[in-house]
Structure 1
Amino acid sequence: MDTPVKRVAVVGTGVIGASWVAYFLAQGLDVSATDPMPGAEEKLRKTVERHWPTMEKLGLAAGASPDRLTFYPELEAALQGVDFVQENGPEREDLKIELFRRMDAALPAHVVLASSSSGLLMSRVQAACAHPGRVVLGHPFNPPHMIPLVEVIGGEQTSQQAVDTAMAFYAAIGKRPIHPRKEVKGHIANRLQAALWREAFHLVDQGVASVGDIDTAIAYGPGLRWALMGPFLNLHLSGGEGGIRHLLDHLGPPIESWWADLGTPSITEELKQKITAGVQEELQGRQSGLLESERDHLLIGLIDAKAASKTLP
């Protein structure tokens, strides 16, 4: 790992924040964590302990240790001497604006303030900062301690230097950062997920398929290919020797007809009940905890295999 960042502040240590803490520690960084919730420190340390065997399997950097975690009840104390901030507070714009105002006031102007927000726009979050140019989105994909993707987006007042610094930092610690050029609700990955969810919910709502059938269709169909390459490269391979252009020329009209037929469901109480009952039926005989553990075990193998590939992007 080659990065000038040596100490990271993690602000907010819920599910996402705690996952970030485990990852930063595994990369050999010092972590200053803070969260105002009662019992937050004990819960965080237990979560890091639970994640640590996974971090060991993925590979630890030199000097990596849970002992390099320090918890502070007060925000300003946790920010002292840090080189980078990863914020993971509640997804409320008013709270984020005030939180970033306080962080901005407490830190030197060169320290980048990154938010894990899944949907808020940095142009709004940075509004009350005296140094708005250093505010960026650093949106991870859950769980951050395993999934490499990070979306880095600036707001209207964000400097290119701050974006470049964040991109370089995440890349240096083993992430796969991407830089969307425009702010949009939900960023990129969540919008793509939402498109799939919309049609999945529609198919259940219309009685076309069960919850279990849809999960099987993705997990044992296109999901296997998507885990290796994105939608455009997969379409390119489907085009044979002619590649993506051949596929678009010949399958463009059918694809457009499918788009025109996609549903626009509303998440009504009735649909909520259908989805919940379907998931419960799918989980019969399985424990959610064991399912999560098995998912993580398989993810480690997949991540290792992708890292070893000389061809896949």
Structure 2
Amino acid sequence: MSETAESLHIAVIGTGVIGAAWVSGFLAAGHTVTAFDPAPGAENRLRSQLTDRTASASAPQTDQIRFASDIADAVADADFIQENGPERLEVKQSMLADIAEAAPPNAIIASSTSGFAPSEIAARTRNKPERIVVGHPFNPAHLVPLVEVVPTPNAPTEVVERALEIYRSIGKKPILVRAELPGHVVNRLQAALWQEAYSLVNRGVVSVADIDTAISYGPGLRWAVLGPLALQHLSGGEGGMQHVLDHLGPPQEVWMHDLEQVHLDDQLKDKLVAGVDAELFGRDEKRIAAQRDSMLRDIIELKKRYEELP
């Protein structure tokens, strides 16, 4: 384990694509897992997915997992619970209320929700709702290290620090989001980029394929190494960020104020779908996804070799 030698008992509620990725990560780090999903055939699908990953160097220990009969059984003696139910507010609220009633009083409860605030999803929880946090991963979640941790405004410091520590223990790179915002932080950053990309396509300035080339062969390469603000600092030479903001800030502001809002009406949706179809025409999308995952593994391993990078 990367941060601690402590072995924890983890409960994973919901074992679809995201839930299975969490199970894989917790098992590979040496924790024991109890999983629950009410969908027919869920256990077999999960075990099949875990078996498919046993060829990797960090293969999950599949003998350290048990599939529970219900939520109460799954969380009864858990140290940490990761909920991955459907992204519907009323479903999240009901599931988390049930989890909190059955879980040990000191267990931390994390939700993989991609957009709801922890206060929203904890609204029906009566048993220590302040221990509910958002723990939002990114696809493909079994590979990408980032996790957004969003606590409720009244969350105890020890709950927040413990959640961060547990995610680090499975090789994740958690960030602490200090305010409740729709979409948290990273989805909002992505939405800002999508907004301008959609606008440029809608206005006929550039094709969908050229948007993707512009990012993946341009700033996307740099963003895999350093974040946009650190890169901006480096671009300022000896003057660093101060020089960039003093001398290039004014034209940047002009660009930012020129960005256009878009509405995803049917006409724009058709343009985007047709553009992606044209970009990927004749290519095997399963191979694309497999090659994406392979390259992500290589990039993540490469980043570990450069200790000066934050």
TM-score range, shorter chain: over 0.9
CA contact (8 A) 1:86 1:115 kept: yes
Instruction: With the length of structure 1 as denominator, give the TM-score of the two structures.
Output: 0.94
Shift of 1:157: 3.3
Shift of 1:3: 5.1
Matched, 1:203 2:200: yes
Q: Per the alignment, in what secondary structure is the counterpart of residue 52 of structure 1?
A: coil
Q: Per the alignment, in what secondary structure is the counterpart of residue 264 of structure 1?
A: coil
Give the direction of change, closer, same or farther, for the CA distance of 1:3–1:85 in structure 2 (3 Å limit).
farther
The answer for the alignment partner of 1:66 in structure 2 is 62
Q: Which of the numbers 130, 143, 152 marks the counterpart of 1:146?
A: 143
Matched letter for residue 145 of structure 1: H
Which consecutive unaligned segments of at least 5 residues does structure 2 have? Answer: none
Instruction: With the length of structure 2 as denominator, give the TM-score of the two structures.
Output: 0.95
Matched letter for residue 174 of structure 1: G
Q: Per the alignment, in what secondary structure is the counterpart of residue 168 of structure 2?
A: helix
The answer for the alignment partner of 1:116 in structure 2 is 112
CA distance in 2, matches of 1:123, 1:184: 11
CA contact (8 A) 2:77 2:104 kept: no
CA distance in 1, matches of 2:258, 2:137: 32
The answer for the alignment partner of 1:311 in structure 2 is 308
CA distance in 1, matches of 2:286, 2:53: 13
Shift of 1:48: 2.0
Matched, 1:137 2:139: no
Shift of 1:49: 2.4
Shift of 1:281: 1.0
Q: Which of the numbers 20, 38, 41 marks the counterpart of 1:39?
A: 41
Shift of 1:21: 1.1
Which consecutive unaligned segments of at least 5 residues does structure 1 have? Answer: none
CA distance in 1, matches of 2:62, 2:207: 43
CA distance in 1, matches of 2:53, 2:193: 29
Post-superposition CA distance 1:206-230 (Å, at most 9, x none): 1111110000000000000000000
The answer for the alignment partner of 2:239 in structure 1 is 242
Shift of 1:137: 0.9
Shift of 1:249: 0.8
Matched, 1:77 2:79: no
Give the direction of change, closer, same or farther, for the CA distance of 1:131–1:5 in structure 2 (3 Å limit).
farther
Shift of 1:128: 2.2
The answer for the alignment partner of 1:10 in structure 2 is 12
Greater CA deviation, 219-228 or 88-97?
A: 88-97
CA distance in 2, matches of 1:46, 1:200: 38
Post-superposition CA distance 1:106-132 (Å, at most 9, x none): 011100000111100101222222211
Shift of 1:169: 0.8
Matched, 1:297 2:294: yes
Matched letter for residue 70 of structure 1: R
Q: Per the alignment, in what secondary structure is the counterpart of residue 308 of structure 2?
A: coil
The answer for the alignment partner of 2:225 in structure 1 is 228
CA distance in 1, matches of 2:228, 2:247: 17
CA contact (8 A) 1:7 1:29 kept: yes
Matched, 1:168 2:168: no
Aligned residue pairs: how many?
Answer: 307
Give the direction of change, closer, same or farther, for the CA distance of 1:52–1:224 in structure 2 (3 Å limit).
same
The answer for the alignment partner of 1:276 in structure 2 is 273
The answer for the alignment partner of 1:106 in structure 2 is 102
Give the direction of change, closer, same or farther, for the CA distance of 1:90–1:123 in structure 2 (3 Å limit).
same
Post-superposition CA distance 1:138-196 (Å, at most 9, x none): 11122221111111111133222111110111112211111111111111111111110
Matched letter for residue 108 of structure 1: P
The answer for the alignment partner of 1:24 in structure 2 is 26
Matched letter for residue 79 of structure 2: D
